[in-house]
Amino acid sequence: MTLSIRRLGLSLALFLSVLSTGCSDAARTPLSAEPTGPSLSTSDMQPLARFNKKPQVNVAWAKKWIGPEGGRLDFMGFAIEVPAGAVSKVTMFSIRLPVDPNGSEHVLAEFGPHAVPFARPVVIELPYRGTSIEGTAAPTIVWWNEGWTNVGATLTGDGLRLRTVTDHFSTYATLDARGGGTMLTSGG
Amino acid sequence: MPRNEATVEELLGLLPDVDELELLRLRIIAGAVPDPGKAWDSSSAYATVDKRIVSADEVDRAVRHAEESLRAYVASLYEGMRPVFHAFFEGRGDDSAQHLITLGEELESGGRLKGARQIYRTALSLTLPNLDKSTQILALRRMGRVSLSLGDFREAGQHYERSAQLARDVGDMRGEVVARTGIGNVLVWQGRWSDAERHYREALALLEAAEGAQPSLERAQLCNNLGNISARMERLDESEGYLAEALAFWRTVSSPLDLAVCYIHYAHLRERQERYDDARAFYEQSLELPVPPAVQCALATDLAELCLHDGHLSQAEDWGRASEEHAIRSGSAYTLGRMYQGRGNIARARGDEDGFNFFEKALEIARDRGYPFLEAETLRDYAMLRRHIGGLEEAQAYVERSRDLFTQLGSSQNVADAERVLEEIRAERAAEEGAPPTPLAAAGD
């Protein structure tokens, strides 16, 4: 089955209900509009970590204006930490969670802004404690690139979240990367 | 004082570093048994082979077997050279190259990767003046394959690329498909899965343009590889489809190695689907196939990890030891080193700090024998263990060295990963020392 057929057939719209929170500074020029997330199928989400207790997501989107001095946005256990000098102008950073009946059980978020290159990598954090991958051998963060790509992760000092650095924003999630197995290829 | 036994470490200390004694080195290792006097030691499970003991009688047997094996190898090497000269004197230069490639394949299957590479290189140089490019296309692919096995990705990629270009120039569609499959394989090992997938798909499109969806060896191998890459990118339905098509082919055409690879990829997929009993069943089917010890070693390593997941620690240790036996039987120092790296990771996953023994052993082999990719991967994994136990300074040094090696090897994804880990370690060290962290640097800088 090709990806396109599969995704047309099973596509499940995420990120349906959106409310905004966090602080904003209307006096400054925004660099980013509200993020729009990819549509992920149920099978796309199947390998992702789940919250042990499904969170009550009433507010699905947080945003914060962060400038060249850096800053941090925290939302429902997810976080963005922007180092000084990562952006040259005040930029709207956002974290958007799925709120549909199935997507919200997964440790999954869309980080924004999209298509804004960072001069320095930005840290993102996703919940770990209280999720299905807590205590597993290889918990990690993945990003969606027509498939989940492992970007690696480390535990935060308090053991609550997984964190990694990135130079671009997209949809990120967590999973247990164990089971990759020994690499073998055929032919060639 | 006379003695009846000695540790492997002591005996290897008696062996000069002469290539012709490599077989004896492996035979001594193969004849070693766990030291019963250390059975009480809680760390004995993590002891590498150099802590095992070998009796004097066993050493005698090892010398005899190694000598016989070396004689047999030398005889086959010289035997393999006869048709090379015959063909040359009969004016069939291309056949000389073909015979050399056959000889190289024998060495390669026996784990003599560097020797095989030298032979393929000679074959390649013989083919350069020939108008018929088919042997050159094959020699380039063999150079690519053995370079990939040695972890020399840049060279492997260059040879496969050249082979694909030549094949395209002379209209050899099948040759181009196989070379493109090889390019994809190199990219898989570099962790560049999207790029690998693109090459595999292009190769598949070439095949389909020429012969539709007709089953063929090349198509089934591509399905094996696409099944693997789809699963690693977590597209599990797609993986299922590719592997089903591949398996249907391998059930009608005898290729035990390809069938084993297909079963192992199925097992990996089932693990991702959390269907662990099914995964075990696929591994067990692979075990029944006549595959090289290096693949058996990989299988045992995966089974050890699966047992670990199931909480069957003693079984995991049994499979760990089995992987060691297969690695020794393979006669390949590279496989042995790879096995130690895997056992180190299993120990690390269990939180066993004693796992450093395995990483040290893998590093020793990688450095002594010149396997830079194995060294880079081991350093990276070892650093994670060091970091876990608070050795941040050492961890940083290990990751820096692995990054440099990955850079030399052209493994860009690994370089980027190493840069990211380095930034994290630097930040952790800065936090420990109470100083503000250094600014984050762009990955790949």
- Mean per-residue pLDDT for B404-416? 75
Cα–Cα distance for residue pair B301/B334, rounded to 1 Å: 15
Residue from B420, B426, B429 to probe the interface with A (highest A Cβ count within 10 Å): B420
- Which range has the top average pLDDT, B44-58, B203-217, B404-418? B203-217
pLDDT score, position A77: 93
- Tell me, what DSSP letter sits at residue B329? H
Question: How far off is chain A from B268, nearest CA to CA, in Å?
Answer: 6
> What letter represents residue B42's amino acid?
S
pLDDT score, position B427: 81
pLDDT score, position A24: 32
- B349–A183: do the CB atoms touch at under 8 Å? no
At B361, the pLDDT band (50, 70, 90 cuts) reads confident
Question: How far off is chain B from A36, nearest CA to CA, in Å?
Answer: 22
Question: Rounded to 5 degrees, what angle do the CA atoms B237, B243, B245 make?
Answer: 105
Among all residues of chain A, which has the CA nearest to that of B279?
Answer: A179
- B234–A185: do the CB atoms touch at under 8 Å? no
Is A52 in a helix, a strand, or coil? Answer: coil
- Mean per-residue pLDDT for B123-143? 95
More confident residue, A13 or B3: B3
Question: How far off is chain A from B424, nearest CA to CA, in Å?
Answer: 8
pLDDT score, position A4: 26
End-to-end CA distance of chain A: 25
- Mean per-residue pLDDT for B379-387? 88
Residue from B155, B204, B272, B414 to probe the interface with A (highest A Cβ count within 10 Å): B272
User: Is any Cβ of chain B less than 8 angstroms from the Cβ of A135?
Assistant: no
pLDDT score, position B59: 94
Structure-token pair, residue B29: 């290792």
pLDDT score, position B47: 56
pLDDT at B441 over 60: no
CB atoms within 10 A of CB B72: 10
pLDDT at A28 over 50: no
pLDDT at B85 over 60: yes
User: Is any Cβ of chain B less than 8 angstroms from the Cβ of A38?
Assistant: no
pLDDT score, position B350: 67
More confident residue, B200 or B419: B200
- Minimal CA–CA distance to A93: which of A125, A128, A62, A54? A62
Binding-face residues of B in 68-87 toward A, CB within 8 A: none
- A137–B308: do the CB atoms touch at under 8 Å? yes
Percent of chain A with pLDDT over 70: 73
Cα–Cα distance for residue pair B342/B297, rounded to 1 Å: 10
> What letter represents residue B106's amino acid?
E
Which of B179, B262, B443 is opposite residue A121, by nearest beta carbon?
A: B443
Among all residues of chain A, which has the CA nearest to that of B302?
Answer: A181
Mean pLDDT score across all residues of chain B = 86
Which of chain B's residues have a Cβ under 8 Å away from the Cβ of A172?
A: none
Question: How far off is chain B from A116, nearest CA to CA, in Å?
Answer: 14
Length of chain A: 188
- B188–A185: do the CB atoms touch at under 8 Å? yes
pLDDT at B420 over 80: no
Which of B188, B241, B298 is opposite residue A1, by nearest beta carbon?
A: B241
pLDDT score, position B69: 82
Question: How far off is chain A from B31, nearest CA to CA, in Å?
Answer: 27
Binding-face residues of B in 330-359 toward A, CB within 8 A: 342, 349
pLDDT score, position B117: 94
Write the DSSP string, B85-151: HHHHHTT-HHHHHHHHHHHHHHHHHTT-HHHHHHHHHHHHHHHTT-S--HHHHHHHHHHHHHHHHTT
Q: Is residue B358 within a helix (H) or strand (E), and if so which, with residue range?
A: helix B356-369
- B442–A46: do the CB atoms touch at under 8 Å? no
Contacts of A124 (CB under 8 A, 6+ apart): A78, A79, A80, A81, A111, A141, A163, A164, A165, A166, A172
Label residue B68 exposed, middle or buried (CB < 10 Å: 0-12, 13-18, 19+).
Answer: exposed
pLDDT score, position B137: 97
At B292, the pLDDT band (50, 70, 90 cuts) reads confident
Peptide bond into B129 cis (omega under 30): no
Structure-token pair, residue B36: 């019963």
Among all residues of chain A, which has the CA nearest to that of B236?
Answer: A43
For residue range A70-107, list pLDDT tens digits in order: 999 999 999 999 999 999 999 999 999 987 766 778 99
pLDDT score, position A8: 24
pLDDT at A30 over 70: no
User: Is any Cβ of chain B less than 8 angstroms from the Cβ of A42?
Assistant: no
Contacts of A69 (CB under 8 A, 6+ apart): A84
- A181–B141: do the CB atoms touch at under 8 Å? no
- A147–B234: do the CB atoms touch at under 8 Å? yes
- B423–A121: do the CB atoms touch at under 8 Å? yes
Q: Is residue A172 within a helix (H) or strand (E), and if so which, with residue range?
A: strand A171-176
pLDDT at A16 over 60: no
Percent of chain B with pLDDT over 70: 91
- Mean per-residue pLDDT for A146-158? 78
